[in-house]
C-alpha cells in the first residue's frame, strides 16, 4: 500500500488564499472567505497528490506554533511577523486536525516532520525546495513531479542553502555567495558535481568555515546558518525528549 506524508501547511495556506474574495458593500470593499470553498480546494489538492502517486494512505504534517530555529537565530522568519495568514487559516487547520491522521511535534515545522519521518513513507509531498535536502522521494504538487534525492545530493543541497541563505526565511548565508558562486564552490569540494558524500562533509565544512572567515565572520556564524538551513533528519530528533539534536561538525 503506497503511503505519503504531506506538508499540510502548504495545502492549507494555498486553499485559504485561493478562497479569499473581494465583496463590495455600500461602497466599501470587504475581504471575505467561504469556508466550504477552502475545504473543497484542500481536498482537491490532496486528491491530486494521491492520484499522481497512487497513494492509498496519507498523513498530514503540521507545524507547531513555536519554532526551534528562532532560538538558534532570532531573525529567523522575523520578516514575516507583520504579514497575515489568509482568512480561515486557523479554522481550516483545526478541521484538518479533526479529519485527518496528523503529525505534529513541539518546536518543529512541517518540513522537519517530513525530514524526520520520511523513512516511514513511500513519498513525501511538498513544493518547497528545502525538501530537496532530504534523501527520499519528494513529490511537488506545484511541478507535478517526483524527485528522488540521494543522500549525497541531499547533503549538497543543504550546504548550498547554508552558503546562499534564504532572505524570505530571514537568514543570510555567506556574504557574496549567490547560487552560481556557491555551486561552483561546492563542486570543487566534492568528487562528483552536485553531490557531497557523508565522508566529504568534514573537509567541505572546513572550507565553508574558511569562506565565512574570509568575510570577517566566524565558525559559529557558519554553524548558525547551517543549523537553520538544515531540515531535520531522523538522527536530528530525540523522540523521547521531544527536542531537536542540533547538527554540529564531528
pLDDT digits (tens, 9 = 90+) for 142-198: 999 999 999 999 999 999 999 999 988 889 999 999 999 999 999 999 899 999 999
Q: What is the 3-state secondary structure (H, E, C) of the chain?
A: CCEEEEEHHHHHHHHHHHHEEEEEECCEEEEEECHHHHHHHHHHHHHHHHHHHCCCEEEEECCCCCCCHHHHCCCCCHHHCCCCCCCCHHHHHHHHHHHCCEECCCCCCHHHHHHHHHHHCCEEECCCHHHHHCCCEEEECCCCEEEECCHHHHHHHHHHHHHHCECCCCECCCCCCCHHHHHHHHHHHCCCCCCCCHHHHHHHHHHHHHHHHHCCCCHHHHHHHHHHHCCCCHHHEECCCCEECCCCCC
pLDDT band at 72, cuts 50/70/90?
very high
Whether 117 has a pLDDT exceeding 90, the answer reads yes
Whether 55 has a pLDDT exceeding 90, the answer reads yes
Amino acid at each position: 500500500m503506497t503511503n505519503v506524508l504531506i506538508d499540510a501547511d502548504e495545502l492549507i495556506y494555498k486553499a485559504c488564499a485561493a478562497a479569499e474574495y473581494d465583496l463590495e458593500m455600500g461602497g466599501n470593499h470587504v475581504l471575505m472567505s467561504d469556508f466550504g470553498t477552502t475545504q473543497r480546494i484542500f481536498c482537491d489538492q490532496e486528491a491530486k497528490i494521491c492520484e499522481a502517486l497512487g497513494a492509498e494512505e496519507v498523513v498530514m504534517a503540521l507545524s507547531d506554533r513555536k519554532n526551534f530555529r528562532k532560538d538558534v537565530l532570532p531573525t529567523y522568519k522575523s520578516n514575516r511577523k507583520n504579514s497575515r495568514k489568509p482568512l480561515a487559516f486557523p479554522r481550516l487547520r483545526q478541521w484538518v486536525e479533526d479529519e485527518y491522521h496528523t503529525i505534529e511535534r513541539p518546536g518543529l515545522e512541517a518540513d522537519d516532520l517530513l525530514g524526520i519521518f520520511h523513512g516511514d513513507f513511500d513519498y513525501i509531498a511538498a513544493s518547497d525546495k528545502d525538501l530537496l535536502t532530504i534523501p527520499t522521494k519528494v513529490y511537488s504538487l506545484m511541478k507535478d513531479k517526483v524527485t528522488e534525492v540521494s543522500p549525497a545530493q541531499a547533503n549538497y543541497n543543504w550546504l548550498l542553502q547554508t552558503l546562499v541563505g534564504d532572505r524570505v526565511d530571514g537568514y543570510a548565508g555567506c556574504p557574496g555567495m549567490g547560487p552560481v558562486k556557491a555551486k561552483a564552490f561546492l563542486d570543487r569540494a566534492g568528487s562528483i558535481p552536485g553531490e557531497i558524500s557523508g565522508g566529504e562533509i568534514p573537509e567541505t565544512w572546513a572550507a565553508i568555515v574558511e569562506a565565512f572567515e574570509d568575510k570577517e565572520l566566524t565558525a559559529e556564524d557558519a554553524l548558525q546558518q547551517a543549523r537553520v538551513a538544515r531540515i531535520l533528519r531522523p538522527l536530528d530528533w530525540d523522540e523521547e525528549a521531544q527536542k531537536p539534536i542540533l547538527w554540529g561538525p564531528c
